[in-house]
Amino acid sequence: MRRLLTFLLLCLALPATAQLRVVSLAPSLTETMLDLGAGDLLVGVLDGGDRPAALAGLPSVGRYGQLQAESLLSLKPDLVLLWPDSVGAVGREQLKRLSIPQLVVEPRNLEQLAQSFIEIGERIGRADQGRQLAARFETGLAELRQRYQRDAPLKVFYQVWDTPLYTLGGKQIVSDALKVCGARNVFADLPLPAPQVGVEAVLQRNPTVILVSEPGQASTWASWPQLAAVKSKQVWPVPDRGLERPSFQMLGATEKLCRLLETAR
């Protein structure tokens, strides 16, 4: 009995050598892992745009909307970080069948994004880093809200695509970033994350500013000179597409947005 007790105490005293193996299924979640100082835990990522240089040699498990389940399984992950939209319905069904532990992260506003840093940090053994990252993010947001508040919110139309015309609904995190800047998404009443709308609906809501995802989309709005945004020459490209990638860098992207909207008449 004494030998058994001694053995157990020795086991408890020894450091754990097995490292958590994490696969990230969204660029934003990959960035969060790096922000938490946990890039060493990543064994695979879902590609979508340029990779951080630190992860250039990491195995891929597919591209945005196209999960490669076999590649994922071959990495033997202990945890999958999932943004549901990043893998599509087929990919989500595949993940259900794989029975790999998952953490679903889907913040719809900036407060939920800050909370996700804490949640991920706790799940991967970086709880202190998660709380610190969340605190820095929340402090930055509070400063932006105070600096850019307006008596009357600026009416903004955020164009995601032009043919057909897509925008963002009120439950999409960019709508919350607009609020921080003293603005309001003119389609905030729509529940879908990315609803399709018509030009007539934009004319009816008459935004003061139109933000386009791609610079080449801006010239199209010259065909509707009656729009307040066109009259004031306030059809602008989004200053930082990081707005659409919810990770810590979204704080800086939101600040750029606020500075641009501050110049609106």
* pTM (2 d.p.): 0.90
pLDDT in tens, 197-217: 999 999 999 999 999 999 999
Which pLDDT score, from 0 to 100, does residue 60 have?
A: 96
- CA atoms of 22 and 38, how far apart (whole Å): 10
For residue range 41-92, what is the model confidence (pLDDT) as tens digits? 999 999 987 888 889 999 999 998 899 999 999 999 999 999 998 998 888 8
Q: What is the DSSP letter of 225?
A: T
Structure tokens at 40: 């060493």
pLDDT of 49 reads 79
Looking at mean pLDDT, say which of 2-6, 46-50, 245-249 comes out highest.
245-249
Q: How far apart are CA 85 and CA 33, in angstroms?
A: 19
Looking at residue 48, what is its pLDDT? Answer: 86
**pLDDT tens digits, one per residue of 113-149:** 999 999 999 999 999 999 999 999 999 999 999 999 9
DSSP alpha helices (H): ranges in the chain?
2-13, 27-35, 69-74, 88-98, 110-123, 127-148, 173-180, 199-205, 228-231, 250-262
Contact 178, 158 (CB under 8 A): yes
SS3 content of the chain, % helix, strand, coil (to 5): 50, 15, 35
Separation of alpha carbons 10 and 8, rounded Å? 5
Cα–Cα distance measured from residue 167 to residue 146, given in angstroms and rounded to the nearest whole number: 27
